[in-house]
Amino acid sequence: MQILISFGVVFLLVNGARSIEEEDVVNLPNVTFEYSFKQYSGYLNANNAGTWKFFYWLMESQRNPLTDPLLLWLNGGPGCSSLLGAFTELGPFYMNRDSSSLYENIFAWNKVELIMEFEFPSKIFDVHS
């Protein structure tokens, strides 16, 4: 039952985000390696009025995105973006020391699962309110 509820929550998050603003991420500047997995980013309404929005970035699994599990990454908080984890811990891209280019994280978690970086709370990257 818990798996079914978890799937339902993730389904609502992903489909809700698609109904707002979904973008295929087709190019990241200064990436120093070739990658083939798909990426999406967009905004999800955080209130009924649609005045607060959560930012998300979904990176597909490098193995099998149709059957691999989905990791919902929620670290961060006031003044600290969840994307920090994407670029310094678990994501497929690492920033070099001067942040001028991205290089491959050979231990990226999206080698075996989809990663959804989710900004929490909404005011961290809330450019739409």
pLDDT at 75: 76
Q: How far is 113 from 123, CA to CA, in rounded Å?
A: 27
Boundaries of every domain in the chain: 2-61+76-118
Per-residue pLDDT tens over the stretch 43-63: 888 788 888 788 889 999 999
The pair phi, psi for residue 61, each rounded to 5°, is: -65, 145
pLDDT at 17: 45
pTM, two decimals, is: 0.72
Q: Tell me: pLDDT of 74 over 70.
A: yes
Q: What is the CATH number of domain 2-61+76-118?
A: 3.40.50.1820
Contact 68, 113 (CB under 8 A): yes
